[in-house]
Amino acid sequence: MNSGSSLDIAAVGLSHSPLIGKNDPAPEVLERVEAAVSGARDFVRDFDPELVVLFAPDHYNGFFYKEMPPFCLATEAHAVGDFGSSSGPLSVDSAAARALAESVLDQDVDLTVSARMTVDHGFAQPLEVLFGGIDRVPVVPVFVNGVATPLGPVSRIRALGTALGRAAAGLGTRVLFLGSGGLSHDPPVPVLDGAPPRVADALIEGHPPTAEQRARGEERVIQAGRDYAAGSAKMIPINPRWDNDLLDLLECGDLAAFDSWTVAWMGEQGGGSAHEVRTWIAAFAGLAAGGAYEMTSRFYEPVPEWIAGFAVATARRR
Ligand SMILES: O=C(O)/C=C/c1cccc(O)c1O
Ligand SMILES: [Fe+2]
């Protein structure tokens, strides 16, 4: 149980993958990942957050091209339960969400607000992994677009994280900023540009898939993970150097350096879904808004079976 006021803000970055438990790597890899995740769980338990601000992407389950915001804060949210993740309502702290939204807007950062956000494994998995479920801790979900081009500059995501960090300080509660996603990875998430009309229509309108369509889509991703691990897939390879450079910047607190990362360069280096690292940048910017911080744990391993440069990091104020 946390008692020190100097520990009132903390951050965790955690990669997600819907292939965890479905297409697992060798037992020794799994053991290393589980040890790192268990360390993050201990960190969170000791910090004992009263509120979690969760930055996560969506994979065309909640946000579609009909309206695709760069980011969006939810005052209520429910999970669809894709890839066997939890479904149902998240325990959103609506009052805190509204207060945070107002403060962010007052700080001149344009913010979309959803009073009924649909989220997927990007939100559900970190809540399950760190808290044991999607309804165990008061949360403010913040969608960060990490797949649907065009994507805006990283500086705006950093500005969002900073504004939320300042806003959270006004709540007077222990807040954990949690980023879900990345690092480098190139899963077969559909792309609007050049998509056949039926796919384009689904990406724009967001027709809920039938159970059969969802199962087929998920099997396609699982098979892609198998092919990737076998070296027979055409996806952009996981890029450990890029991933570790990103973790280095987060560790030394040089978050302004991310502002020069262009969308095109990020995609070339880290694949189509590398933009999910925006969630990490937002979470660490939230922590940095409260002053200097230290990264207290850092784990990284490329896991092609999960189509993920998989990382876990924890950080708190100095
Ligand atoms: O197809 C999806 O919905 C997502 C796939 C995926 C695969 C691996 C890592 C990730 O972060 C993903 O979102
Ligand atoms: Fe993802």
Confirm whether 166 is domain-assigned. yes
Confirm whether 164 is domain-assigned. yes
How does pLDDT run across 22-35, given as a tens digit for each residue? 999 999 999 999 99
Q: Domains in the chain: how many in total?
A: 1
Q: Which residue has the tokens 């502002």?
A: 259
Question: Quick check: CB of 289 below 6 Å from ligand 1?
Answer: no
Q: What is the position in ligand 1's atom list of the atom closest to the CA of 17?
A: 9
Question: Quick check: CB of 314 below 6 Å from ligand 1?
Answer: no
The DSSP secondary-structure symbol of 265 reads: H
What is the CB neighbour count within 10 angstroms for residue 245?
15
pLDDT, average across residues 96-123? 98
Looking at the chain, the whole-number percentage of residues with pLDDT higher than 90 is 96
Q: What is the position in ligand 1's atom list of the atom closest to the CA of 308?
A: 9
Question: Quick check: CB of 59 below 6 Å from ligand 1?
Answer: yes
Confirm whether 224 is domain-assigned. yes
Residue 217: domain span:
7-317
From 2-11, 38-47, 301-310, the region with the lowest mean pLDDT: 2-11
Angle at 278 between CA 36 and CA 165, to 5 degrees: 85
**Ligand 1 centroid from CA 307, angstroms:** 7
Confirm whether 1 is domain-assigned. no
Question: Quick check: CB of 308 below 6 Å from ligand 1?
Answer: yes
Nearest in space to 91 (alpha carbons), one of 75, 71, 103, 115: 75
Asked whether residue 6 carries a pLDDT value surpassing 50, the answer given is: no
Confirm whether 238 is domain-assigned. yes
What is the model's pLDDT at position 188?
Answer: 93
Residues in Cβ contact with 247 at an 8 Å cutoff, skipping those fewer than 6 apart: 183, 298, 300, 311, 313
Question: Quick check: CB of 183 below 6 Å from ligand 1?
Answer: no
Give the whole-angstrom CA distance, residue 110 versus residue 70.
10
Respond yes or no: is residue 185 known to be catalytic.
Answer: yes
**Ligand 1 centroid from CA 18, angstroms:** 6
Confidence bin at 3 (pLDDT 50/70/90): very low
Respond yes or no: is residue 121 known to be catalytic.
Answer: yes
How does pLDDT run across 218-238, given as a tens digit for each residue? 999 999 999 999 999 889 999
Asked whether residue 5 carries a pLDDT value surpassing 80, the answer given is: no
pLDDT, average across residues 149-158? 97
pLDDT, average across residues 80-102? 98
**Ligand 1 centroid from CA 121, angstroms:** 8
Catalytic residue among 59, 185, 207, 275: 185
Confirm whether 2 is domain-assigned. no
pLDDT, average across residues 36-42? 98
Q: What is the position in ligand 1's atom list of the atom closest to the CA of 83?
A: 3
Confidence bin at 2 (pLDDT 50/70/90): low
Distances (CA, A) of 80 to 60, 235, 306: 11, 27, 20
From 1-5, 104-108, 183-187, 280-284, the region with the lowest mean pLDDT: 1-5
What is the model's pLDDT at position 233?
Answer: 85
Question: Quick check: CB of 62 below 6 Å from ligand 1?
Answer: no
Domain of residue 241, CATH code:
3.40.830.10
**Ligand 1 centroid from CA 235, angstroms:** 13
What is the model's pLDDT at position 1?
Answer: 52
How does pLDDT run across 267-276, given as a tens digit for each residue? 999 999 999 9
pLDDT, average across residues 302-310? 98
Q: Are 13 and 129 in contact (CB under 8 A)?
A: no
pLDDT, average across residues 280-295? 97
Confirm whether 169 is domain-assigned. yes
Residue nearest atom 13 in ligand 1 by C-alpha distance: 17
Summary mean pLDDT of the chain: 96
